[in-house]
Amino acid sequence: MPAVLARGSRRRTISEINMVPFIDVMLVLLIIFMVTAPLISVGTVDLPTVGASRQKQEPHVLEVVVAADATLRLRVDGTDQGPATAATIGTRLRELLAGNDQTPVLISADRAVRYEEVVKVMDAAQRAGVKRLGLMTKNANR
């Protein structure tokens, strides 16, 4: 309720905000946050690293190379099979898999390629029935 000052015949109200309850609430919140902050657990994510593989090398590997200008090339066991387009990559992969959906397909993309192009290749591979799909990385030490 606003306070009223009486001075002679004029009455005037004092409109001030009482800051004491506000400060009390802020101090209680500060104490709560100070007590609960050390109890919050921080999650960690273990990212894979590039290194020597301990697994045996697959005998038959398909590789889709996405060049810097977003053109596609197919490689089978390291030998070049010629260029491909985004429209034909799915059918070419299906032909090269020849019913063996456990053959690994690796996507090797240039660092200048938009990620959208890599996702299109991944989508085409999934539609072609590829079960084992991987992304090739380049070791920074080489």
Q: What is the pLDDT of residues 67-114, one digit of tens each?
A: 888 888 888 887 888 888 888 888 888 888 877 777 888 898 888 888
> Using N-to-C axis directions, what is the helix angle for 115-127 and 89-97, rounded to 10°?
50
**DSSP SS3 for 35:** helix
Where is average pLDDT lowest: 24-38, 89-103, 120-134? Answer: 89-103
Mean pLDDT, all residues of the chain: 81
What's the sign of the alpha-carbon dihedral 11, 16, 17, 19? negative
Per-residue pLDDT at 52: 59
Question: Do 61 and 107 form a contact (C-beta atoms < 8 A)?
Answer: no
How far apart are the C-alpha atoms of 89 and 57, rounded to whole Å? 24
Q: Which residue has the tokens 């309850």?
A: 21
Q: Is the pTM for the entire model greater than 0.85?
A: no
Per-residue pLDDT at 84: 87
